[in-house]
Chains A and B, each alone.
Chain A
């Protein structure tokens, strides 16, 4: 069983390495201001560009996700993306704000403090 449970780590790492071989993934941390190109399968595989601030990251091997908060027409929108999703074509870190929290949920109340 000890050896079998290792398989889990191996599989996670293998899958992550495979994605890393295909595209570069920067160090996405809370406080990062990102610009990313996303392919939307529902929308005839059209690519869209999103820009926003990362307010949380959840580490879980291949299932690692980050939470992006942005303003769409003056309304705050949060979306969760799997870091290793093949639908994410490119991630660019535009800026790294200095933050002292792992989860920046307080930005929901004052989005203007760290303008997107």
Chain B
């Protein structure tokens, strides 16, 4: 039951500990195990999705064309680079100490003044340099990872591998239903008064309210987005950049999280 992936971001480790306890009660009320977990709050039921393996953080550089040597066809690729300091394992969480298994990775070396003393203390414990970003990769087992261990992209991935890339998408501001949810437009002429309007948002007296989650205008973009199963086209060890087929979230300079692609039945168990 604890295995059920509920889709709380793997990165939100600290959140993962708190939030599921609340949800366990309301979601699976009939489950005996959930009730037990509610009675004994010390045994936290962590519900979060597992990663297929430890990934790294990177920075988007931009897009360009790559000519496939076999066919000569142009392939649109995104160039992804790594900032100084690279990726370092900053903490290894285990079920015994933290209630779940995860590897915390730090990225983007900065000057010491840029961090607070608690942050420096946490990194110092692992023997890592001052790093701006910390993210967790929740795993089935964390064998072979030690705090302070540098992670090199070229060792972890090879050309042709599939990766999942998540990052913050470009913010579009307040947008209408047409752009935000792909609604249809009304007639612009022939006496129509409904040009780009939403249309009906529900029935009348029954139910007498608008359903929650109704698609409406609002803030679009600027949220965490994951693009799945992107292919690594080329790894350049001299410049320390990677070419990945297709587009990734955000503009150049955006922080990206690259993890091995999750494929159910292959590296993620079916249930």
Contact = CB atoms under 8 A, between A and B. Distances in A.
B62 interface: yes
A8 interface: yes
A113 interface: no
B206 interface: no
A63 B67 CA distance: 9
Interface residues of A, number: 19
A35 B143 CA distance: 61
B144 interface: no
Interface string A72-105: 0000000000101111000000000000000000
Interface of chain B, main secondary structure: strand
Interface in A6-22: 7-8, 10-12, 15
Nearest to B82: A4
Interface stretch (B36-44, B72-80, B87-95): B72-80
A4 B62 CA distance: 9
A7 B72 contact: no
Contact of A11 (B59, B64, B69, B83): B64
B81 interface: yes
A41 B241 CA distance: 29
A11 B240 CA distance: 11
B59 A41 contact: no
A86 B72 contact: yes
Contact of A85 (B64, B67, B236, B241): B67
B64 A4 contact: no
B79 A7 contact: yes
A41 B61 CA distance: 31
A11 B252 CA distance: 15
Contacts of B72: 39, 41, 85-87
Interface in B4-55: none
Given A1-B253, A86-B67, A8 B74 contact: no
Contacts of A4: 59, 61, 81, 83, 252-253
B96 interface: no
Interface residues of B, number: 20
B243 to A, nearest CB: 8
Contacts of A61: 64-65
A5 interface: yes
A1 B73 CA distance: 30
Nearest to A6: B61
Nearest to B83: A4
Nearest to A10: B239
Contacts of A86: 67, 69, 72
B85 to A, nearest CB: 13
A11 B71 CA distance: 21
A25 interface: no
Contacts of A84: 67
B222 to A, nearest CB: 19
A28 interface: no
Contacts of B253: 1, 4-5
Contacts of B62: 5, 8
Interface of B: 59, 61-62, 64-67, 69, 71-74, 79, 81, 83, 236, 239, 241, 252-253
Q: Which 3 A-B pairs have the closest CB atoms?
A: A87-B72, A63-B65, A86-B72
Given A8-B64, A11-B64, 6 more contacts: A7-B79, A11-B236, A62-B65, A63-B64, A82-B67, A86-B72
